[in-house]
Amino acid sequence: MTASAISLRGLRKHYGDLHAVDGVDLDIAAGEVFALLGPNGAGKSTTVEILEGFRKRTAGEVSVLGEDPQHADKHWRARVGIMLQTTSDNSALTAREALVHASRYYPHPRDVDETLDAVGLTEKASAKPQTLSGGQRRRLDVALAVIGRPELVFLDEPTTGFDPEARRSFWRLIEALRGDGTTVVLTTHYLDEADYLADRIGIIAAGRLVALDTPSGLRARANDARVSWVENGESRAVETATPTALLRELLARTEGEVDGLQVVHPSLEDVYLTLIGEAASAAEDAAAAAAQPATTEGGRS
């Protein structure tokens, strides 16, 4: 993963005084599975829509597969697969017919039946979208996004409505895409999904990229582990950056097993919530400072 499939420099999108995207720099390598996380309104959907060529930017440089998506042609479109957040519930085409129709727009599409099987819709191939469950419609959306064998695929909240078995099947599909060298950009609210699938994770808040790292690198940012145990009938708990040293101390003063011993390391979700909280506090402080009246040298406004 050396060449960049996506490169952003100073990306901004403003709606009047609202800075939805406020100076994002980012490189996503070819063949990488990249997860973009953030709360609602953070700017992640706007960023992805700019990358897809569906939304114009206010400022900045954007390169996606070597092209500016804002001005890209149909040949560029054939190299990109896009999964939207919602799908049509009213279609005259069955799931299989929809894939056959979509495949005709691409020079080297995937096999339709293999794609149906990959997303777990073989038994629903003759069903129309309006008869499918929410999770099954999302699977069809995934199939439509990858049928063209794209070099780059955008997946927006792909497993919303999936049951646990369907989510695992989807994960295997993403692993297969990675094996084929496909670049995958996904947004998700499921932290375990990002942790499992992504080579790297970007966290966006208040329009800015507040973290960019591997899943393990992000978890390592939270140094303190929580050690809990029962001593003399009393529950004890300590947060420490050196849990091994604390365990040695406990073992030294305890005969036999330490009652109720648990060592819990921070999860990716813990780190994510901390980063989002810090970004929200910083944004509030900046807004409060901007709202203060200007003062002169003599202290008068």
Neighbours of 21 (CB within 10 A): 26
Distance from first CA to last CA of the chain, Å, rounded?
Answer: 55
pTM, to two decimals: 0.82
Per-residue pLDDT tens listing for the chain (301 residues):
458 999 999 999 999 988 999 999 999 999 999 999 999 888 999 999 999 999 999 999 999 999 999 998 988 998 999 987 665 566 789 999 999 999 998 888 999 999 998 888 999 999 998 898 888 888 899 899 999 999 999 998 888 777 888 888 888 889 988 998 999 999 988 899 999 999 999 999 989 999 999 999 998 887 788 899 998 889 999 988 888 898 999 888 888 888 999 988 878 888 888 888 887 777 666 667 767 775 555 555 4
Domain boundaries, the chain: 4-218, 223-265
The 3-class SS string of 241-300 reads CCHHHHHHHHHHCCCCCCCCCEEECCCHHHHHHHHHHHHHHHHHHHHHHHHCCCCCCCCC
Strand-pairing partners, residue 183, are: 152
Determine the number of helices (DSSP H) and then strands (DSSP E) in the chain: 10, 12
Query: Which has the closest alpha carbon to 155: 80, 63, 254, 232?
Result: 80
Alpha helices, H only, 147-207 = 164-179, 191-197
DSSP annotation of 67: B
Q: What is the CATH architecture assignment of 4-218?
A: 3-Layer(aba) Sandwich (3.40)
